[in-house]
Structure 1
């Protein structure tokens, strides 16, 4: 209890239940029973808020833990993403979700098509992707951006908004101009670990929805800044997004989020600082950063 007699606010589920460290065998047992399959537990892919398993019928099961604060009426992203045409998403087969009152979370398991292509993973590995991958990538991003939806994107588990973007930028660059003029549909967690190669599949759809134009491209561009030539390649392929007024704001947003807390021990700190400064100078001169 706090000194005023109120209950301390509960930590987000991802901090209370890091699935890389806690035992959730009872959850896995329940999923196996509900989906009538066996999961290859010894080969689980563990992340902070999800676990992935190959099944005995050569499908893939992803188990997610979600705090009750994230029950926003938008449903579960992967199931909802089945409406997206022209985007390489693993086919969704079935899902189960339930409330866990003891831990104050919701559990969700989705069974999907098994994708044999490995995640690209580290940004340095993206430099070896063939031209055909980039063609598939551009086609998918264009199709996704045009898809209609009432969902709102939740990058880093938080709803995106003009206020959120402006607050993050103002914390580091208080005098920066940051127009947000266009909104499109976005994956909202687009990084090299969530895409496969050399054939493109896009994974982990829990956060997708409407977002300022260029959010996805800016996220990928930002995560590529430490690899020589890679951010420039992302920019070349997604130039209409990233050089739009809103896209420039999203690039500055991604840089500001890191620069607010990092120092030069962080590999992205120096390239993000240079990129942000170039964008701010270009905004003054009217040139292209």
Structure 2
């Protein structure tokens, strides 16, 4: 019987030459093998026509109604600083219930701000924060039927409730406002000094404040940076849904898989406890 759920793999450890060869043939490009960047579930490389190709492996069970075409679908977004999309190719794995997809985009205007979770303040100028706010504001005003998939899992009311109640019992978790979100907003997916937001595979509708809460959680090891995120995006985080997303993000840090040496634990717990009090007294 053919498996319906894909095995979990790490593309930093898996052979990828066959996928690289297939992409070169389909997109009529040559990939610069020296520039290949391998991540857990994606591989990227520069091409001979001064563009970038990102190749992702995603289980069919993780695609659902989205279709796995986030980068292409994001091309319709207006007012959001992101690399232009040029084309793509997708295919089903011959042996596993997996879709491979490669998207070719324009090169980024600069390097990523840092790793997904930072331990030092990147020292971003006011103009960078203004560009972030402009893009997130424009994104929230768009219309889509896509569902956001943070960590490749569709975000639903049930998921929000289960995640929050796994750590913070007794909180009313009903979401009121769903808006378009990038759904993987961290410091590895934005550039500096010129702001640009990339890796759009998971974008779609999510509770208001998901992106802000995600970025806040990725900043907690640097208190001043986490505070800056909260100040810049206070419109999101002062809303009831934004507070729920703070708990959603904090629950992922404080939950059963919490690492005892995670430098974010104390700050996440303090903000979460205050947020629970605010929600229960509202």
Q: 1:74 aligns with which of 57, 66, 74?
A: 66
Of 99, 109, 112 in structure 2, the residue corresponding to residue 106 of structure 1 is: 99
Which residue of 31, 52, 61 maps to 1:39? 31
Structure 2 equivalent of residue 266 of structure 1: 262
Map 1:31-180 → 2, pairs under 5 A: 31-75=23-67, 76-122=69-115, 123-180=118-175
Secondary structure of the residue that 2:66 maps to in structure 1?
coil
Deviation at 1:8, TM superposition (A): 10
> CA-to-partner distance for each residue in 1:243-271, whole Å, 9 max, x for gaps?
10000000011111221121431121111
Q: Deviations over 1:212-235 (max 9, x none)?
A: 000000100111112021111111
Instruction: Tell me how many residue pairs correspond in the alignment.
Output: 278
Question: 1:10-21 to 2 correspondence within 5 Å?
Answer: 12-13=6-7, 15=8, 17-21=9-13
Unaligned runs of 5+ in 1: 1-6
Alignment TM-score, normalising by the size of structure 2:
0.93
Q: Structure 1's 116 and 210: CA in aligned 2 closer, same or farther, altered over 3 A?
A: same
TM-score when scaled to structure 1?
Answer: 0.91
Distance apart, 1:102 and its partner CA = 1.1
Which of residues 161, 178, 190 in structure 2 aligns to 1:195?
A: 190
260, 279, 282: which is aligned to 2:278? 282
**Looking at both structures, which has the greater relative contact order when contacts are Cα pairs under 8 Å and sequence separation is at least 6?**
2
Residues 104, 179 of structure 1: CA spacing in aligned structure 2 closer, same or farther, 3 A cutoff? closer
Aligned-pair Cα RMSD in Å: 1.7
How far is the alpha carbon of 1:125 from its aligned partner? 5.0
Counterpart CA distance in 2 for 1:276 and 1:120 is 26
* Structure 2 counterpart of 1:235, from 230, 241, 248: 230
